[in-house]
Structure 1
Amino acid sequence: MPNDNSVTLTGNITRDPELRFTPSGQAVATFGLAVNRRWQNRQTNEWEEQVSFFDVKCWAQMAENVSESLAKGTRVVVSGRLEQRSWETDQGDKRSKVEVVADEIAPSLRWATTQVTRNERRDGDGGGAGSGSGGASRGGGGPRPDDGGRSTSTGAPGGGSGASNDMDEEPF
């Protein structure tokens, strides 16, 4: 059986994303995520709740998008992998923590709406660390007829018919 380390969490951001850059110029953003679990105690019929807190890290263009788009309190869906870091404090104590390294982050649309603005693709931008090709998860290009006129695509031929003959346009 292959070693699979993947996790998907849905929760609320506990602190505004913090954007930093490595010495080589790579963007990295971190934020906290609170995941609530609520259940009814069958013996007392009272509702009980447990909250788990996670640190989330993301890289490259996603890090910049997260820092520009998300804020404390936003409900998001995070998909990625768990990674453990260990270090030693100045006093010699050993510390360790497990954090989520995100492959995908999206706002939860269960109780909110959002508007998507597509970024211009940069040359040589492979989509970030561990992103894979992503081709299967991207839909066709151009506006869709049911988008209510809110499409953020520009210059798509066909006047919003959903058909695009422009082969140079990247799929979204």
Structure 2
Amino acid sequence: MNDTELTVVGNVVDSPRRVRLENSAVTNFRMASTARRYDTGKQEFVDAGTLWVDIEAWGELGGNVARSISKGDPVIVRGTLTTRSWESEAGRRSAPQIRATAVGPNLARGWSDFHRPARAALANGQEAGREPQPTPEEEQLARDLDEASTSEDYGSGSGALYEVDSESSSLEPARV
């Protein structure tokens, strides 16, 4: 099999959406990754192109994503790259999509508290932590439901996804 595995570092640009299906569940969100490069002429870093990509996380990973990730969070996503296609009023459209195998916070931009759920043996003898794989019909239904919630065409924005003010940034955690 020739899967295209990749890792993308960026920011979550919309709130994760959890969809429960008959035998599984999926969480979808969109992220953006803006490349930066050093411009020797300007003697500063400048933003280059931005990759906008849809993420789908199935099963337990999707549940953990829905509990842990919010719009604006810096994340690292690992998974398989595909292209999602659909028909719109403007004609045939397509967008990159990653079926995530791992999602986590980007700890270069903050800190996190990790919580491991308690694992109980399942009554049907199935290995704990292993959910049934979604059927092709469930995958298509999840994509159709996600498309219905984000049916407008993707815009291409330019500019930074976030600004960092080094004058007001602190290396120490905030005191509550």
Q: TM-score under structure 2 normalisation?
A: 0.63
Q: Indicate the residue corresponding to 1:65 in structure 2.
A: 64
Query: 1:59, 1:128 within 8 Å by CA — same for their partners in 2?
Result: no
- Structure 1 residue identity aligned to 2:5: S
Equivalences for 1:1-172 in 2 at 5 Å? Answer: 3-22=2-21, 24-50=22-48, 51-89=50-88, 91=89, 93-121=91-119, 123=122, 124=126, 125-126=129-130, 129=133
Count of residue pairs the alignment pairs up:
127
Between 1 and 2, higher relative CO (CA 8 Å, sep ≥ 6) is seen in 2
Alpha-carbon contact 2:23-2:132 (below 8 Å) kept: no
SS in 1 for 2:4: coil
Which residue identity does 1:64 align to in structure 2?
A: G
Cα distance in structure 2, aligned partners of 1:18 and 1:85: 17
Structure 2 unmatched ranges of 5 or more: 135-176
Higher helix share: 2
Identical positions, percent:
27
Q: Normalising by structure 1, what TM-score?
A: 0.65
In 1: Cα distance, 2:64 partner to 2:92 partner:
34
Cα separation, 2, equivalents of 1:37 and 1:128: 37
Deviations 1:62-119 (A, max 9, x none): 1111111111111111100111222223x48222222011000111111211111111
1:63 to 1:128, Cα distance in 2 relative to 1, 3 A = farther
User: Post-superposition, which runs of at least 4 consecutive aligned residues in structure 1 deviate over 6 A?
Assistant: none
Aligned-CA RMSD value: 2.3
* Counterpart secondary structure, 2:62: helix
Distance 1:128-1:101 versus aligned 2 partners, 3 A rule: farther
Larger radius of gyration: 1
Pick closer, same or farther for the CA change 1:59–1:128 going to 2, 3 Å.
farther
Q: Deviations over 1:2-37 (max 9, x none)?
A: 734101011111111111122x14111111112121
Query: Following TM superposition, by how much is the alpha carbon of 1:127 offset from its aligned partner in structure 2, in angstroms?
Result: 5.4
